[in-house]
Amino acid sequence: MSKGVVLLSAGGTGGHLFPAEALAHELAARGWEVHLATDARANRFAGHFPAKAVHPIASATFGSKNPIALMRSFWTIWKGVRQATALLAKIKPAVVVGFGGYPTLPPLYAASRRGVPAMVHEQNAVMGRANKALAARVSAIAGGFLPETGGTFSSKTVVTGNPVRPAVLEAALIPYAPSADGEFNFLVFGGSQGAQYFSDAIPAAIGLLSPDLRGRLKITQQARPEDVDKVNAAYAKLGIAADVSPFFQDMAQRIAAAHLVMSRSGASTVSEIAVIGRPALLVPYPHALDHDQAANAAALEAAGGGEVHPQASLSPQKIADLLGGLMQQPDRLAAMASAARSVGKPQATQLLADLAEAIASGKTITEFKEGMRP
């Protein structure tokens, strides 16, 4: 028998949806009926989402300063609030959990107006605009990298870590296997933003490696659809075995198979690299709001599990030097993999589910934190 209904709400990018998916699996296993509210962008990610139903809710951003555009955004969001209000009346959730992105505004706002317990999860070290707008209205804020003290909303913040999908936990069981002089798996990905830079820079850097190092490389690289042919052609010209695609459904397995990862440092990416335990060269997306990606990467770098390199500092020659040097230091890569794993939080999903159930039952944050104490 179902414990009740939980409504999850997330923006339409992988960074928002993947942690929501992890929580959905855990809550479903505990006997909850899970629903998802999001926007049309989620269709390519939501195929395996364990929800009884996916509900499209109208929403919009406030990126433009044009008064007409702003009024149109307000109207769209208000339309979404009305849709969300009707949805809440229909499915009667015990708690609504938001994961950031503008599509979460209507469901969470509607929940707070109707007195439905609500909470948000912030993946990044710097709170996003949507979560910041909702922070005062919700009962709890779960943080992946947020500080639990010193912030405006610290009294209602619980550091849970970032949930990771079951596929990531399975991949974490695969031990790191250094490659001293054999095939070297190099994984490069940029998420939904920032992959274009890698499409240009990485093939150019690979071309500067010595022939013996190039001959060891097997590359898996995420690229924008319009860049795939160009990147494939560049690797073919170099005689490199490469798998290039806009999206990989089995990314967790590919991280586990990597001897070295080079990626952006979105919260989900850093969390998954840490839980699986792989050495990483992290390149924060330079146009990220509030520079949250640089802050996300700090814990991994501080532990010795990764190196953070600003994009502006990375010429093709610099990338070639970094990659070539690490390919010849398997012991160092193994140490980095171990250090990365040391800061991973594989129990984040369970802790977030505990918090969601506590909020649904009417517990306060103080009561929940007291229950966490050993």
Say how many C-beta atoms besides its own lie within 10 A of residue 150's C-beta: 6
Q: What is the DSSP letter of 142?
A: E
Average pLDDT over residues 203-228: 96
What is the band of 374 on the pLDDT scale with cuts at 50, 70, 90?
low
- Residue 147 pLDDT > 90, yes or no? no
- pTM given for the model: 0.81
Using CA atoms in the order 108, 110, 116, 118, what is the torsion angle rounded to 10 degrees? Answer: 10
What backbone phi and psi angles, to 5 degrees, belong to 218? Answer: -125, 115
Q: pLDDT tens digits for 9-60?
A: 998 777 788 889 889 999 999 999 999 998 876 666 556 788 898 898 988 7
Cβ-in-10-Å burial (0-12, 13-18, 19+) of 371 comes to: exposed
Pairwise CA distance, residues 150 & 143, whole Å: 14
Rounded to the nearest integer, the mean pLDDT of the chain is 91
Q: Distance (Å, rounded) from C-alpha 214 to C-alpha 209?
A: 6
What does DSSP say about strands 118-122 and 184-189: parallel, antiparallel, or unpaired?
A: unpaired
Please give the average per-residue pLDDT across 197-205, as a whole number.
96
The residues pairing with 282 across neighbouring beta strands, listed in sequence order, are: 263, 308
